[in-house]
Every structure is written in C-alpha cells, then in structure tokens.
C-alpha cells in the first residue's frame, strides 16, 4: 500500500507540490497584514519563482513545476484586479465547488472519476466499469474526494464572505494536504479493491496461464500445443 500511495502522491506533485502550494500562502497572509496587498503579492510571486527554479534545478517534471507557478500567478492576478488579498483564494474556492459537483455527477452516471483518472494516467482501458465491485470501490473513493472538495468550498467560502483573510489563508493550508492525504488513502484502498475484483496483480491484468507459468512449465505447455497441432493435421 505504501508503494501505491507514494506513486499517487508523486503524480499529484509530491513534496514539491506541497511546498509550492503552501509557502506562497504562508508568506502572503502575514505580509498582507503588515504591509498591504502589493508587497504581499510580490512576496508570494517571489516565493513561487524561487520554488520554480528549485524544482527545475532538481530536474523535476517540467509540466507540474510550471503549473504550480502559473497557479500562484493566476491567484495573485485575481487578487490584484479585485484589490483585496482575499481574492487570492477565490479561484481555489470555486474550483473546489466545481470539482465536487463533477465528482458527484460522475458517480450518478456510473463513471466515477477516481477510476477514470487512475486507469487513464496508468494507460489502462475502462473495462473496469463492467465489474460491479470495481465500480463500487471507485465510487467510495470518488465520494471521499467529493466530500473533501465540498468541505473546502463550504468553510472557505464562509470565511471569504466574512472578509477573514488571515483565517482563510491558514484554513486553506489546514484543509489542503491533510485532507488530501485522507482522500489519497481511500483512493489507494479503492485501487487495491478494484484490482482484486478484476483479478489484477499490482495494477496490471493477470496474464494467461502460459504467461504466469515458469520457463519449464512454458516449454512443457508449448510442447503439448505442438503435439495437439500435429495430431490435428493428421
């Protein structure tokens, strides 16, 4: 389970993703309280640039590194145009609502997004949808993610409407990776349950009997196949 959980976290950005999503907020909130919006946004962007350079220096995947920086830049731009630091969190709040709705709908139409996404990023087909136990497992994981998204939206939107920017920033961090780790744990369980229901091993379909056999057994099976073929031609 640890290996699959580690793999899933890596696909979500891993430690670098945690740092890139947390540090700009940790800088933004206190700087905004002390010196105002413009210094706060400049500080957050500066931290995001440093993180981007750090990730590039470590030769990480270019796409998530740039995406992390662009996310901070987008949030900063929204706050700048609104003229209020709380605007930095607007995108994340409404994204949570949209994601929660999308995950819920996917369950209703029997295309649970956790299963679709997991099998998609691993290059697998979608035949798992014909297996009720696999669908049920991915439904549970999808529900877990939907609850996380709705919880984030509900609490953060309330703080946003109340103009509690400092509390909003710290709440975003508290409801970020801690809740994500819980949802990831449920997802790992779902993947294992779905794999078991489909007769998979380590995320891959079980091979044919000849593929699963050892070298000696394979030779014996091939020899028997040749004998059968010869008898058939006679």
Residue ranges of domains in the chain: 2-202
pLDDT at 141: 97
Instruction: Give the containing element (helix H, strand E) for 214.
Output: none
pLDDT at 212: 44
pLDDT at 15: 62
pLDDT at 20: 77
pLDDT at 204: 47
pLDDT at 205: 45
Environment class of 36 (CB within 10 Å of its CB; exposed 0-12, middle 13-18, buried 19+): exposed
pLDDT at 213: 45
Q: Which residues of the chain have pLDDT under 70?
A: 1-17, 201-234
Rounded alpha-carbon distances, angstroms, from residue 208 to 79, 81, 174? 57, 60, 47
């Amino acid at each position: 389970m640890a290996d699959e959980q580690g793999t899933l976290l890596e696909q979500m950005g891993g430690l670098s993703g945690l740092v890139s999503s947390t540090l700009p907020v940790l800088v933004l909130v206190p700087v905004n309280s002390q010196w105002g919006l413009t210094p706060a946004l400049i500080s957050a962007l500066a931290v995001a640039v440093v993180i981007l350079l750090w990730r590039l220096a470590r030769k990480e995947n270019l796409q998530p590194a740039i995406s992390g920086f662009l996310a901070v830049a987008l949030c900063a731009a929204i706050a700048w145009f609104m003229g209020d630091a709380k605007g930095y969190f607007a995108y994340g709040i409404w994204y949570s609502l949209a994601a929660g709705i999308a995950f819920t709908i996917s369950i209703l139409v029997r295309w649970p997004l956790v299963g679709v996404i997991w099998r998609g990023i691993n290059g697998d087909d979608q035949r798992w949808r014909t297996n009720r136990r696999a669908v049920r497992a991915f439904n549970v994981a999808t529900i877990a993610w939907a609850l996380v998204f709705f919880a984030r939206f509900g609490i953060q939107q309330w703080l946003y409407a109340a103009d509690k920017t400092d509390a909003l920033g710290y709440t975003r961090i508290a409801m970020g990776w801690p809740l994500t780790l819980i949802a990831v744990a449920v997802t790992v369980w779902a993947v294992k349950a779905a794999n078991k229901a489909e007769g998979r091993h380590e995320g891959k379909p079980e091979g044919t009997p000849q593929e699963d056999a050892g070298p000696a057994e394979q030779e014996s099976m091939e020899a028997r196949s040749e004998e059968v073929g010869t008898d058939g031609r006679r």
